[in-house]
Amino acid sequence: MSSWSESTQERATEIIARYPEKRSAVMPLLYLAMAEEGHLTDAGMEEVARWCEITPAQVRAVASFYTMFKRERTGRYLVSCCTSITCMLLGGDEVLHAVEDESGVPHGETDDEGMLSVEHVECIGACGGAPAVQVNYELIEGVSPTQARELVRWLKRARPEVVNSDEMQELFGARRSFDWGISEEHGAIGPYPAFQPLGTVGSEVSE
Ligand code: FES
């Protein structure tokens, strides 16, 4: 019997149905487990193992490889600042420090309220728009330290239900780089990626 909510179980069933083998659904199901409990727990990984018909050790091997699978409590908004070489050369460290200073949350930590987590990350594939920041994996390019502070204040004040790259780029970013993706109406509703069918607004699972 599953410990997941009915809606999470429905999502898990739909995700698994998309793959020829159940085990292939392990990564999206790990995000479901995170969404269900707020972070990834041993119980959550065991649940994923049951759904995917693999061992908990196999699930743990996947989960421990990727930094996006959070084992610690993560805030409603995960602010990730890139400090790899291109962003670093264009002020990524200053952007990170501005986020830490404005939020009062150092890298790797979450505030007491569970609202904001801050981390520095390696290259997030937006070097053409460096320095780059993500909120719940939604990208913002060309962020200055001042804009980073405004971003933090906005998250704390407005507490948006959904964060969306296009909107945040308009509010807090510079000119979009040449490789900015197509406009995306969906956004993230928690500290996990907003790709379907993880429960993004407007993406209620069905194809
Ligand atoms: S170095 Fe920051 S996005 Fe690539």
* Per-position DSSP letters for 138-149, written without gaps between them: EEE-S--HHHHH
Summarize the confidence of residues 18-22 as an average pLDDT: 95
For a mutational test of ligand 1's pocket, the pick from 80, 84, 94, i.e. the residue with the most ligand atoms closer than 8 A to its C-beta, is 84
**Do the domain assignments include residue 92?**
yes
- 85 CA → ligand 1 middle, Å: 7
Token reading at 128: 């053409």
Question: Is residue 23 very low, low, confident or very high in pLDDT (cuts 50, 70, 90)?
Answer: very high
Do 97 and 33 share a domain, yes or no?
A: no
Do 27 and 100 share a domain, yes or no?
A: no
Cβ atoms of 165 and 138 closer than 8 Å: yes
Do 120 and 158 share a domain, yes or no?
A: yes
Closest CA to 199 of 56, 20, 31: 31
Ligand 1 and 41: CB distance under 6 A? no
Do 157 and 93 share a domain, yes or no?
A: yes
Do 119 and 165 share a domain, yes or no?
A: yes
Amino acid making up residue 190: G
pTM of the model: 0.89
Is pLDDT at 80 greater than 90 in this prediction?
yes
Compute the C-alpha angle 25/165/162, nearest 5°: 75
**pLDDT by residue (tens digit) across 27-74?**
999 999 998 998 999 999 999 999 999 999 999 999 999 999 999 999
Number of domains in the chain: 2
How would you list the strands of the sheet with 109-110, edge to edge? 109-110, 116-121, 77-82, 133-135, 138-140
Question: Is residue 197 very low, low, confident or very high in pLDDT (cuts 50, 70, 90)?
Answer: low
For a mutational test of ligand 1's pocket, the pick from 94, 95, 119, 124, i.e. the residue with the most ligand atoms closer than 8 A to its C-beta, is 124
- 100 CA → ligand 1 middle, Å: 19
Do 116 and 39 share a domain, yes or no?
A: no
* Minimum-distance ligand 1 atom for the alpha carbon of 123: 4
- Give the largest Cα separation in the chain, rounded: 52
- 27 CA → ligand 1 middle, Å: 24
Do 56 and 91 share a domain, yes or no?
A: no
Is pLDDT at 161 greater than 70 in this prediction?
yes
Q: Is 56 exposed, middle or buried (0-12, 13-18, 19+ CB in 10 A)?
A: middle
Do 83 and 56 share a domain, yes or no?
A: no
pLDDT at 195 (0 to 100): 66
Ligand 1 and 86: CB distance under 6 A? yes
Do 57 and 89 share a domain, yes or no?
A: no
Is pLDDT at 202 greater than 50 in this prediction?
no
Question: Is residue 176 very low, low, confident or very high in pLDDT (cuts 50, 70, 90)?
Answer: confident
**Do the domain assignments include residue 201?**
no
* Minimum-distance ligand 1 atom for the alpha carbon of 131: 2
How far apart (Å, rounded) are the C-alpha atoms in residues 88 and 178?
20
Do 146 and 81 share a domain, yes or no?
A: yes
How far apart (Å, rounded) are the C-alpha atoms in residues 136 and 111?
16
**What's the CATH number where 114 sits?**
3.40.30.10
Ligand 1 and 78: CB distance under 6 A? no
